[in-house]
Amino acid sequence: MPITRKQQLLAKLETTPGGGATFSASDAIEVFDPALSDTVDMLDRSPASSTLSRDFSPVGRKQREITFTSDAKGSGTAATEPPWGDLIKSCAYRKDGATNGPRLLKIELGSVSGSFQLGEKITQDSAADVGIIVGIKSSGNAVKAASTADTDYLLVLEILGTLASSAATVGASSGATDSTGTVATTTDHHTYLPTSKTLLNLTIGAWSSGANPAAGEVFDVKNGSTLVGAVQLVEERSATDVLVAVLWGSVADTYTLVEAGGETSVIGAAPVAEFTPSIAMRHNLDGRNRLLLGSRGSFTCAGEVGQPLTWTWAMTGDVGTDADAVPIATTGTSTVRAPRLLGALCVYGEGVNLRDIQTKSISIDSGNTVSVNLDANSAGGSTGANVTDRDISMTVQVDNTLSTMDWESLRDAGTAVRVGFLLGTTAGNIMSVVAPNVQVSEVSIGDAEGVSVMDVTLRPRRVLDAGDDEIYFSQL
């Protein structure tokens, strides 16, 4: 007799969308309230007959969804990514990095005038180089909402150009300046930001003609002499390292790329899904494995005073093979305790002002539109799911501070505000959420145990024309 509480969930990024994964003990994730549901279309027809009795309905396409919650916590080790890293990547987010994302920088201040603020944009070279402050720490690694000393350092996600040491650095909102700061990349902090791309990185051999193709070209993908897919070259990072978009089919190690003119190159390693990878999951309910393949999803991240922020994930994809099997013995499930909304920093910026207004609850919705990719060639009727749109929103409940932070006027005037949340004090388990350019869309007056409060809906907006820069989730 299966017991409901005895459930196990494994998750692993796929290299080929819908291709599944080989699970191991370290792929287990700590979750709460997991639930699995299948949607099976039934073709309900009533053929003409001499009886009103119904016959069996043909079974149509199938799709599967797994929902669960998990704590927004760090890995506990500064250099190690957080346990939610792969999950958020499959929800159309990318991590900072030299190859698949912008640089995350540690800027040690030198001679500050004014105070840099959490969540603000900083610029160099007449705004040709731009970064967003996702964290501020003292020399003793204590988190701050604003810099207060020359010994502080900024954690900055570089979104345009190249920020440099000993360059005139300006806080776009605060007006703070520093011309002697030291800039270096950091691997002890991790930031995730939205992406609109779905791309693979391929390690390839030399092209047969010796000349490298240009971005935009389309290649057939062959397994031996069999055509199995097609990709488009998006970026050539080096002669042996290319970024491609999968147009159809599969891509794998040892397959051959074939250019329209016959030029060829052999893939020399397993593809790496760098932008919006799909994720495979295995759900075990006390003796029954159920697979979810090619899934991508959406999430909310919410919490209130005294609680940690909690992710609620909804992952949609294809139905895999189901079979009776015992859950595997797991290893590496995190024992780190999630930081709570106690002693946290919840700040809101408007113009030069930064205010740590009393905050009672926070809710962030990724607003992803997740659509299955219909395919008659697939046994289930689709090949995974895609993130086709997003509309991020944040809802906060804060004390009514009258004109100190006049949310209604900010809404009516369309004035941009900044939002930053910092939870935790221990390196490797400090959670940061930053939205540098936010529009106030809704404001309502409420009551919290006799205290007048404002329920405020905020919409993060793009910072640069290129976008994909409206919100940042970090482990610091």
Close Cβ partners of 87 (under 8 Å, ≥ 6 residues apart): 11, 29, 70, 279, 297, 299, 311, 313, 315
In a domain, 132, yes or no: yes
Same domain, 325 and 474: yes
User: pLDDT for 21-35, tens place per residue?
Assistant: 899 888 999 999 999
- Domain of 184 in residue numbering reads as 93-195+298-476
Same domain, 471 and 365: yes
In a domain, 105, yes or no: yes
User: pLDDT for 66-88, tens place per residue?
Assistant: 999 999 999 999 999 999 999 99
Q: Which two tokens stand for residue 424?
A: 């935790």
Same domain, 271 and 186: no
In a domain, 7, yes or no: no
Torsion (CA) 261, 267, 268, 272 in degrees, nearest 10: 140
At residue 4 the predicted structure's pLDDT band, cuts being 50, 70 and 90, is confident
Residue for token digits 């820069």?
A: 469
Residue for token digits 């057939």?
A: 220
In a domain, 8, yes or no: no
Statement: residue 100 has pLDDT above 70: no
Instruction: Pick the last residue of a domain from 244, 275, 306.
Output: 275
* Spatial distance between the Cα atoms of 121 and 127, rounded to a whole number of angstroms: 10
In a domain, 333, yes or no: yes
User: pLDDT for 424-449, tens place per residue?
Assistant: 999 999 999 999 999 999 999 999 99
Is the separation of the CB atoms in 275 and 199 below 8 Å?
yes
Same domain, 304 and 165: yes
DSSP secondary structure, 364-377, as one string: EE--EEEEEEE-TT
pLDDT score, position 194: 96
In a domain, 155, yes or no: yes
Same domain, 310 and 419: yes
Same domain, 161 and 225: no
Average pLDDT over residues 195-206: 91
* Spatial distance between the Cα atoms of 224 and 431, rounded to a whole number of angstroms: 48
Q: Considering the chain, what is the average pLDDT of its residues?
A: 92
* Spatial distance between the Cα atoms of 106 and 37, rounded to a whole number of angstroms: 44
Same domain, 230 and 174: no
Same domain, 249 and 217: yes
Prediction pTM value: 0.92
Torsion (CA) 176, 180, 184, 190 in degrees, nearest 10: -20
Domains: count for the chain: 2
Region for residue 170 given its phi and psi (left: phi exceeds 0; alpha: psi -120 to 50; beta: otherwise): beta
In a domain, 15, yes or no: no
The amino acid occupying position 146 is A
Average pLDDT over residues 319-331: 87
Statement: residue 46 has pLDDT above 90: no
In a domain, 389, yes or no: yes
pLDDT score, position 160: 95
Same domain, 317 and 414: yes
Average pLDDT over residues 200-210: 88
Q: Which two tokens stand for residue 280?
A: 């495979």
Same domain, 359 and 443: yes
Give the C-alpha distances (Å, rounded to integers) separating 476 from 235, 342, 394.
Answer: 30, 17, 21
Statement: residue 15 has pLDDT above 90: no
Statement: residue 409 has pLDDT above 90: yes
Same domain, 350 and 322: yes
Same domain, 333 and 454: yes
At residue 382 the predicted structure's pLDDT band, cuts being 50, 70 and 90, is confident
pLDDT score, position 332: 64
Is the separation of the CB atoms in 270 and 252 below 8 Å?
yes
